[in-house]
């Protein structure tokens, strides 16, 4: 399967712990996006990369969130000192070029208890 | 005001009916328009992708874009129970992030 891969699929963590998610995009896709989705809402933009450069980060994103794409391939999203409000589905998508179609992974569902 | 507005539904229609889903937007810089289908607890699946104004057809699905009215539509012909899902409209400019609507929940009654 050469689609977008996200790991883990599910994560349960205690409030205050740090968590890290991984996204492997479709090979040759140079753009990678992170979104957060809560129940009944559309995906909310978090950040996106072109190759290894982080081009935009949502102003809604607190300093507890950080994302990297060190070699322009896979990406990680880290949440420090998790809060219950961080519970959501975290989605990753990739595309090629400015106008390329974006394909999503199956997401990582985070539950903070 | 949100950049992309989408009626959340839920929308319930009988099997075989034609379904019309719509979104409006405010940013005239949007050039690429997409429709995604999302089943419960799954990632969004790309259904239709169009550039600028016009129509695009793929099987039972037709996407329409009217940039002058800032209005996009997705039509589903001969709807099936397997079409029951949440449908998300999405759009972007030439070098920007993708902005999503809130999604419309669709239910097809057998």
Please tell me the distance from the alpha carbon of residue B68 to that of residue A11, in angstroms, as a whole number. 44
Q: How many CB atoms lie within 10 A of CB A9?
A: 11
List, for residues B14-44, the tens digit of each pLDDT value.
999 999 999 999 999 999 999 999 999 999 9
Are residues A76 and A20 in contact, defined by beta-carbon separation less than 8 angstroms?
yes
Site from A10, A29, A39, A43 to mutate, B interface, most B CB atoms within 10 angstroms: A43
Residues of B at the A interface, defined by Cβ within 8 angstroms: 4, 6, 8, 31-32, 34, 36, 41-46, 49, 51, 88, 90, 94-103
B80-105 burial: b if 16+ Cβ within 10 Å, else e: eeebbbbbbbbbbbeebbbbbbbbbb
* Strand B11-14 with A108-112, pairing: unpaired
Please tell me the distance from the alpha carbon of residue A36 to that of residue A45, in angstroms, as a whole number. 7
Please tell me the distance from the alpha carbon of residue A80 to that of residue B61, in angstroms, as a whole number. 42
List, for residues B28-87, the tens digit of each pLDDT value.
999 999 999 999 999 999 999 999 888 999 999 999 999 999 999 999 999 999 999 999
Whether the link from the prior residue into A87 is cis, omega within 30° of 0, is no
Please tell me the distance from the alpha carbon of residue B99 to that of residue B104, in angstroms, as a whole number. 15
Contact A56/B at CB under 8 A: yes
Residues of B in contact with A91 (CB under 8 A): 43-44
How high is the pLDDT of residue A14?
98
Residues of B in contact with A107 (CB under 8 A): 42-43
Enter the DSSP assignment of A101.
P
Average pLDDT over residues A13-18: 98
Query: CA triplet A112, B4, B7: central angle to 5 degrees?
Result: 85
How high is the pLDDT of residue B96?
83
């Amino acid at each position: 399967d050469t689609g977008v891969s996200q790991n883990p699929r599910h994560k349960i963590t205690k409030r205050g712990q740090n968590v890290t998610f991984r996204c492997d995009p479709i090979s040759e896709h140079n753009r990678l996006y992170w979104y957060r989705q809560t129940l009944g809402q559309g995906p909310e933009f978090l950040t996106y990369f072109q190759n290894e450069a982080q081009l935009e980060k949502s102003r809604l994103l607190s300093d507890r969130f950080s994302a990297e794409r060190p070699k322009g391939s896979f990406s990680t999203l880290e949440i420090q000192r998790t809060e219950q409000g961080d519970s959501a589905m975290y989605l990753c998508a990739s595309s090629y070029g400015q106008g390329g179609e974006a394909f999503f992974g199956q997401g990582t569902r985070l539950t903070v208890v | 005001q949100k950049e992309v507005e989408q009626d959340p539904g839920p929308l319930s229609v009988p099997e075989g009916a034609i379904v019309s889903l719509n979104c409006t937007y405010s940013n005239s810089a949007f050039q690429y328009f997409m429709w995604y289908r999302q089943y419960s607890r799954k990632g969004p699946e790309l259904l239709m992708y169009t550039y600028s104004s016009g129509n695009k057809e793929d099987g039972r699905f037709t996407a329409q874009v009217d940039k002058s009215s800032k209005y996009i539509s997705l039509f589903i012909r001969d709807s099936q129970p397997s079409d029951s899902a949440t449908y998300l409209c999405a759009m972007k400019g030439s070098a920007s992030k993708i902005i999503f609507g809130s999604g419309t929940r669709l239910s097809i009654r057998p």
